[in-house]
Structure 1
Amino acid sequence: MALNGPQKTVVQLVSVVVVMGGLAWASVPFYDWFCRVTGFGGATGVAEAGSDTILDKTIKVRFDASKERGMPWEFRPVQTEMELRIGETGLAFYEAYNPTDRPVAGQASYNVAPYSAGGYFDKIACFCFEEQVLQPGERVQMPVTFFVDPEIVNDRDAKYVHTITLSYTFYEIDLPEGYAALDAGEKTNTN
């Protein structure tokens, strides 16, 4: 069956809408994958273990902390910078404190600056991989274990980087179900 002019136009328009919807749906995971692979936008890598190669060249890593407006926690790096050899495993801590009278859940997002170093900054373990729940008045120190990949010295742009800044921003998120039920029970229990 051949389509006449208006029917053909409708089919073409519906096809365009479906293709555009599919591209919009796929763009977020594709962009996330692209950033992880290339280090674009300061995205970092994740490694199972530290580097096998440690160079004599050192690099300074600075630590930065911020929080979303409305996030009630206090959040800061325990130390503001460290110098380590490229390929050497580093361990840094961030401190979070919940000054409220209720449990608060948070999730950290992160990036690395300059962006050219993002693909060479590898985390082995990080508090940012999981959501965090702090009880009222709780103070915790959260570790991040990392190294700078020795391949950074072979990158035409990143090899000139002498300082990397690792930044975290904490966002308040909904409490996990178990915590939310406990919190709601405490608010409704007046006995």
Structure 2
Amino acid sequence: ITVRFDSTVGDVLPWSFVPTQLDVKVVPGETALSFFTATNHSDKAITGVATYNVHPPKVGLYFNKIQCFCFEEQRLLPGETVDMPVFFFIDPDIMDDPQLRNVRSVTLSYTFFQ
């Protein structure tokens, strides 16, 4: 399954936020690690929080994040750039779901807000 990554930033947050890779191939049941890079373009320390979405939505039942920057707030100092990990796997039971067994592409989207 190809997991594609998407990222956006809320209007008032002066950050850039991008995936370090556009996609990764994942075998259900095996873990995968990917990173997103965030930069604070302001002259103040700012705390942001990320929300996420999985598409198609039903895949969310099988998409498991083990470690994710979205689990807690992220504080970036003025001008600071950080790489933030997401460590995940897709439950192999997805292959037994008649509605999803033929899914070959999943999108994991994050939006950062202040």
TM-score normalised to structure 2 length: 0.98
Partner of 2:104: 162
Equivalent residue number for residue 57 of structure 2: 115
Q: Does residue 99 of structure 2 align to residue 153 of structure 1?
A: no
Q: Report sequence identity in percent.
A: 50
Paired residue total: 114
Q: How do 1:57-76 residues align onto structure 2 when only pairs under 5 Å count?
A: 59-76=1-18
Give every structure 1 segment of 4 or more consecutive aligned residues whose post-TM-superposition deviation is greater than 3 Å.
Answer: none
Q: How far apart, CA to CA, are the structure 2 residues paired with 1:129 and 1:104?
A: 17
SS of match in other structure, 1:158? coil
- How large is the RMSD of aligned CA atoms in angstroms? 0.6
Distance in structure 2 (CA, Å) of the matches to 1:163 and 1:118: 13
Residue in structure 2 matching 1:127, options 69, 72, 79: 69
Greater strand content: 2
Question: Where does residue 184 of structure 1 map in the other structure?
Answer: none
**Secondary structure at the counterpart of residue 136 of structure 1:** coil
**Alpha-carbon displacement from aligned partner over 1:150-174 (angstroms, at most 9, x marks no partner):** 00011121112111100000000xx
Cα offset, 1:97, TM superposition: 0.1
Give the AA of the match of 1:159.
R
Query: What is the CA distance between 1:84 and its match in structure 2?
Result: 2.0
Name the SS of the counterpart of 1:152 in structure 2: helix
CA distance in 2, matches of 1:161, 1:115: 12
Q: Gaps spanning 5+ residues in structure 2: where?
A: none
CA distance in 2, matches of 1:60, 1:85: 9
Q: How far, CA to CA, are the matches of 1:84 and 1:154 in structure 2?
A: 17
SS in structure 2 at match of 1:85: coil
Which blocks of at least 5 consecutive residues in structure 1 are unaligned? 1-58, 173-191
Please list, as runs of the form range in 1=range in 2, the aligned pairs for 1:67-86 lying within 5 A after superposition: 67-86=9-28
Task: Give TM-score scaled by structure 1 length.
Answer: 0.59
Q: Which has the larger radius of gyration?
A: 1
> Larger relative CO (CA 8 A, sep 6+): 1 or 2?
2
Q: What is the one-letter code of the residue matched to 1:109?
A: T
**Offset, 1:93:** 0.1
1:137, CA displacement in angstroms? 0.6
3-state SS, counterpart of residue 153 of structure 1: helix
